[in-house]
Structure 1
Amino acid sequence: MQMYEAVNVLGEALQPCSKRPMTGFFRDGSCNTCWEDSGSHTVCALMTAEFLAWSKYVGNDLSTPRPEYGFAGLKPGDRWCLCAARFADAALEGCAPKVMLASTHRDALREVSLAVLKEHAAQSK
């Protein structure tokens, strides 16, 4: 698998999203992507209780631990590389989490506009 160029939605070098928990399609801590990443795990999002409940409701349970996959489950405050389409759906439903723009891969723009991402931008720490 060949990774796409690591550029964020602002046109700068892609910054890491999270190593605790370890995230990303490549499980390298960044929202890097490639052709094989059919879900486009490119939006670095700051989890909220509201989003996690919504995601579980629509069939993508991110909060329940799955030890057989080495997945501890997410909790509010965790950063995670979300599928761009899932983020877009959550934004339409009014429950999108905050986004770390510097850590969101530019490939996310295929599914969600920069304006929507900026509307949900978190303050960088």
Structure 2
Amino acid sequence: MKARNVLGTELAVCGRDPETGFYRDGCCNTGPEDRGNHTVCAIVTAEFLAFSKSKGNDLTSAVPAFGFPGLKPGDRWCLCAGRWEEARLADAAPTVDLEATHEGALSVTSLEALKDHGLQSTH
């Protein structure tokens, strides 16, 4: 069965450069191993990256041991739904690709909140 997005349709690819997703498959798929619920496909901004770093998660620094190149504004990345929601409440949430955001994000945030930050996908 294909994974579904927050709109109830087939989950689209979030990003391949860099390769994103908990499973590094380009999609915001999730499963029992994904304790962080990496389900929100975001186009990261400098503001969000600074916010995440201030919370102890520096997404801008490369971690070669894990094949992580570090992110820059404009990169597409599967974020933890909880961190995205935290950023939203602090007015620092990045734009979301709804077609590439896994329905699992709805256990943490609302569809309305995601739509408020959504973009029209080009998939």
- Residue number among 64, 69, 74 corresponding to 2:71 in the alignment: 74
Among 5, 8, 25, which residue is 1:28 paired with? Answer: 25
- Residue 60 (structure 1) aligned with residue 60 (structure 2): no
Task: Tell me the SS of whatever aligns to 1:81.
Answer: strand
- Structure-2-length-normalised TM-score: 0.96
- Superposition TM-score, scaled by structure 1 size: 0.94
Give me the CA root mean square deviation.
Answer: 1.1
> What stretches of structure 2 of length at least 5 have no aligned partner?
none
Which residue number corresponds to residue 91 of structure 2?
A: 94
Offset at 1:123?
2.9
Identity %: 57
Q: Secondary structure at the match of 1:19?
A: coil
- Residue 107 of structure 2 corresponds to 110
Are 1:7 and 2:7 matched, yes or no?
no
- The amino acid of 1:64's aligned partner reads S
Distance apart, 1:5 and its partner CA: 4.7
- Alpha-carbon offset, residue 59 of structure 1: 0.5
